[in-house]
Structure 1
């Protein structure tokens, strides 16, 4: 996971901004705390397409290779954390690109869910489906008011893979998780706090990042290696299951997404989005 990469370093106050040209993410490291903030910045809604997924994977690796004390995931969009998987990747897909897309999504989940550093999500907007996957892959979640979060795949006629469920079950009691997945339920910020899907509420993005930093800072006196190994032991079974079943998981996804009924449903959903945009 710890792969080297070439970085362009720009100093902004007490922070270092690590970036490369045309990236859809930025990584800013606070020199005082050593905590890295990873920001998704793909307009308009941080739809998880192949390019954003590759940038996320690379950025997570950069953070680990630079020995940051922790990772905070957030969004540059003021109302959307991530709208989830980009439907255009799955509608009438190119055979090679759809394979690369799903493989990259697997890579991001393995890197984030299995990260050796403490992770937290500053959820500063709506977080459906894949956005919820990213948030629940982190260890701690702070969300702004009046937004929604959840795995709503069944509402779109899609079945969430087992590893999506693993992230959900690492946060929620099984009974609540199962019912929410079956219903495709989206939780408001208040509901998410009540059931434990998020840990805290903040009024601004800045406050959310501060609360995430405080969570990561709570491990300051804990041995980093012992902490990382403990975390990875908790998550080892989930991570290993996907590693063992990556090929089968990919083939299952390809079979499912190419079903005529699924393609028809995705097409209708895209049409509804176009109508909303016109109105």
Structure 2
């Protein structure tokens, strides 16, 4: 694995994203996540998974600097696979916990909200949320459904339309994260929760997860070719492209 580190423990695995210091998501990383979770879904020795990042960044979201260099076919493939990754994670049958080790905006939040529990590093500087409107990326219907699943339709609607990023305290109050902890305690807390899930009979646990998420799963568009088709099309809209180029230029100068 080029962008992931896998730490296999007794009965579960820790998947650490490891692409630069901010874990920005490009196509290669998305494909690695897809293959890793597919393998772990089938592996009887892996009964649960913790997904984590690096100190200060769970994932900064999509690597817009690289994505801006993709041609039309490449961007279509990227959004297809990113949409498929979301569907794969949100339907992952085994216990799945996120250890959010810092910032998790946009694509980082997409990964986190699919999990069963989310533990986040405390600190006003860390943010999480689906701020796609603010960065001129079209959000999918599937993502609006899971945001509402965790925090309720009214609050989710307001935050999505505002393109708002939440502090850890705001995210916990909204039901988006379970607990805030010092950075060094985030991963141990996530592992503790995962081990708690593993005390249950695995079939009963899996069946219960399916029942709890039944209403969410029934609302999902499971056609990966269609999920982010709109986002791929709007990617080339001239006025959106101009805004994104300005955003990337600003970010590059700041970096």
The two structures have a TM-score, normalised by structure 1, of: 0.84
> What whole-Å deviation, never above 9, does each CA across 1:178-234 have from its counterpart, x for those lacking one?
1111111111112212222110111133x2122212222223342212321332344
- Structure 1 segment 263-274 matched on structure 2, within 5 A: 263-274=241-252
- Structure 1 distance, partners of 2:224, 2:42, is 25
Q: Tell me: CA distance 1:204–1:246, structure 2 relative to 1, closer, same or farther (3 Å).
A: closer
Partner of 1:166: 145
Is 1:65–2:47 an aligned residue pair?
Answer: no
Secondary structure in 2 aligned to 1:214?
helix
Given candidates 234, 245, 248, the residue that maps to 2:226 is 248
Partner of 1:201: 180
Is 1:87–2:69 an aligned residue pair?
Answer: no
Question: Runs of 5+ in structure 1 lacking a partner?
Answer: 1-19
Contact 2:130 2:163 (C-alpha < 8 Å) held by counterparts: yes
Instruction: Please state how far the C-alpha of 1:106 moved relative to its aligned partner.
Output: 1.7
Instruction: Please state how far the C-alpha of 1:275 moved relative to its aligned partner.
Output: 2.0
- Structure 1 distance, partners of 2:70, 2:120, is 33
Instruction: Please state how far the C-alpha of 1:236 moved relative to its aligned partner.
Output: 4.6
Partner of 1:13: none
- Structure 1 distance, partners of 2:213, 2:64, is 29
Partner of 2:13: 36
Partner of 1:218: 196
Is 1:101–2:86 an aligned residue pair?
Answer: no
- Structure 1 distance, partners of 2:193, 2:231, is 36
Following TM superposition, the consecutive aligned residue runs of length 4 or more in structure 1 with deviations greater than 6 angstroms are none
Is 1:27–2:10 an aligned residue pair?
Answer: no
Max radius of gyration: which structure? 1
Instruction: Please state how far the C-alpha of 1:169 moved relative to its aligned partner.
Output: 1.8
- Structure 2 distance, partners of 1:142, 1:30, is 19
Report how many aligned residue pairs link the two structures.
Answer: 251
Contact 2:102 2:127 (C-alpha < 8 Å) held by counterparts: yes
- Structure 1 distance, partners of 2:116, 2:253, is 38
> What whole-Å deviation, never above 9, does each CA across 1:112-164 have from its counterpart, x for those lacking one?
11111111111011110010111111110001112111111111122311111
Given candidates 122, 133, 136, the residue that maps to 1:145 is 122
Q: Which has the higher contact order (CA 8 A, sep 6+)?
A: 2
Partner of 2:154: 175
**More deviation in 95-104 or 177-186?**
95-104
> Superposition RMSD on alpha carbons, in Å?
1.8
